[in-house]
Amino acid sequence: MSEDLKNVVVILTVGKSDGGKAATMAFSCGMSAIAMGHNAVVFLTSDGAVWGYQGSADGTQVQGFLPLRELISQYLEQGGRIILCSVCHRTCSVGSPDLPPVAEMVPETEIGGFATILELAMNGMSVTF
């Protein structure tokens, strides 16, 4: 991705409680950002961290949209980035904070924190789902 393009940082804080609606919108938004010539980053934090793990999106589809697993796959193929909140990865999503993470992350997912996300957003814009 070009360095001079603006970043679109999509912040996803919703997990499976809405049947994957917010996640579907977030990755669709990311796909649109790429289509419009921007660098897209989906930041998975809070309950949204669940989408950073292999198999989480399986079987999830919102009417009118691609299955979430396929949407995420296409998003990554087109150059979108996924950044998973470091604290969520360590504590919220995979059990005890005293144990190492056990779930396998979606391939190409990066670990990042708020400074990482803020720097990206300062060089672009952010959208929250």
Partner 1 sequence: MTHFQLNCEGMNCPMPIVELTKAARSLEVGQKIEVTATDLAFKPDLEAWARRMGHTIEQFDEADDKSHAIICLGSKK
Binding mask 78-107 for partner 1 (x = CB under 8 A): -------xxx-xxx----------------
Beta carbon nearer to partner 1, 58 or 115: 115
Tokens matching residue 24: 């579907």
Segment interacting with partner 1 (CB under 8 A) among 7-15, 16-24, 64-72, 116-124: 116-124
Bridge partners (DSSP) of residue 125 are: 8
CB 124 → partner 1: shortest distance, Å? 14
Kindly calculate the radius of gyration of the chain based on its CA atoms and give it in whole angstroms. Answer: 14
Nearer to partner 1, 44 or 71 (CB): 44
CB neighbour class for 13 (10 Å; exposed up to 12, middle 13-18, buried from 19):
middle
Element (H, E) at 41: strand 39-44
- State which residue, 13 or 73, has the beta carbon closest to partner 1: 13
